[in-house]
Structure 1
Amino acid sequence: MVIWTVANQKGGVGKTTTTVTLGGLLAQRGYKVLLVDTDPHASLTYYFGIDAEELEVSVYDIFIRGKDITSEQILQSLCPSGMDNLDILPSSMALATLDRSLGNKGGMGLMLKKALLKIEKEYDYVVIDCPPVMGVLMVNAIAACDRLLIPVQTEFLALKGLERMIATLALMRTSQKRDYAYTIIPTMYDKRTKASLEAYKELKAKYQDKVWSAVIPVDTKFRDASLAQTPPSEFASASRGVFAYNTLLTYLLQQAPESA
């Protein structure tokens, strides 16, 4: 089981779109995929028409039950996506209380990783969607991953969010004594605007080979797909945005040691 975490300490950069689209494309390629929503706002959960406020169990239970949670209980928390090979571990607004209730307890940073290991035989890939705030949830999501995917909108305010994200990785690298493979993904690119061109140029200059060599363009089909509560790969398979994500996925699948 390979785990990718999609994170950035700035909202509105395409994290949920990246999670859903890559998940849909992986499922279409025949992989068994689990999408995990660790954002209290539950954008990923609502994307698939799942009402986070009506759920009896969610990813929240992993943190509350801790090491005592069983693989059966985790699997019972899952929701179908409506697409073959693709399941959802939904979010809950109760996640917003975790930093206050559990943030100071020791050993909290690896709870999600340990839970996912209990169901590792069920899935080829797990893709985790993160909140844009540094805390227990983001630490867990990053600690669980084999590769971190960092979507960055090609505009200058988003570059500041990336700087915070890289600083967070440096802190985690020191505290956990492990390195983190990561890929920066330029998103919402509009070649007609100077802002996109200049931001992309700065990204490449500053982060070099950590930046994926292509871009995810602005594409209204992403919005239409979310309204239809369907992964873009299913809703508009021929769109330029899906084509770009397909190219990204091919690149990510080639990265060692992450082959399912």
Structure 2
Amino acid sequence: MQPSDRLRQVGVTLAELLCVVGTLVGVGVIGTRVEESSGGALAADATLLAPAGPAFTIWTPIYLGLAAYTVWQWLPEQATDRRHRAIGWLVAASMVLNAAWLLVTQQGWIWVSVLVMAGLVATLGVLVRRLEEVPSYGHVETVVVDGTFGLYLGWVAVAACANVTAAFVSSGVDPGGYAAQLVAVAVVAVAAGVGVLLARRLGGRWAVAGAMAWGLGWIAWGRVTDEPRSLLVGVAAVAAAVVVLGAAGRTHARLPD
């Protein structure tokens, strides 16, 4: 094992500890809950693209997966594994960015949070692409690594759309009425396009598509059961979820056996 392998393992572990601290801040244990931070800009009823509250339960498997990965990469047979060498520092970066997003929202820096979220999406995109280039060698590996970071990427891809929308609305950029609904539908269409692109570039990963569909589905639920109500946006979000899942299915159908 090279010294760089040990350094990477330590780096991932320290990043996980920072991520835990950020999470405790975000859920209100040692800070303000996300939905109450930034003047309520990120609450479930703040914008037309805010997912309903239950959507955020997806963080439970993601955080458990990150903790599992941190332990997994310390196993002796994993220390020099090609996959960990390819993604280890990206994993650490993603956890640091996650913690940073939670901390900047505590300060009400909504536009800074958009930049941090963009960095997180880009980091996870590169990470999952590398997973595609170095295939998994077993079921446990697939669940702990591919499953975790697939869910992570899919969720933040949708969350980024909600984050940008919240930033504009909190800055007073809100056309209101039917115009606002049309803009929201356009953003949902962009999210669907991103889902199709990710399916094509990443081999139609179900974890990515499933997490995106989850987020879009809860946006739809929020718009038909909570304020601000919009059947148009709700239908568009459901359609986008179907498109994302369909793109993953079509990609799998084209893959060689």
Question: Is the TM-score greater than 0.5?
Answer: no
Looking at secondary structure, tell me which structure has more helix per residue: 2
TM-score normalised by structure 1 residue count: 0.30
Larger radius of gyration: 2
By relative contact order (CA 8 Å, sep 6+), the higher-ranking structure is 1
Q: Point out the structure with the larger strand share.
A: 1
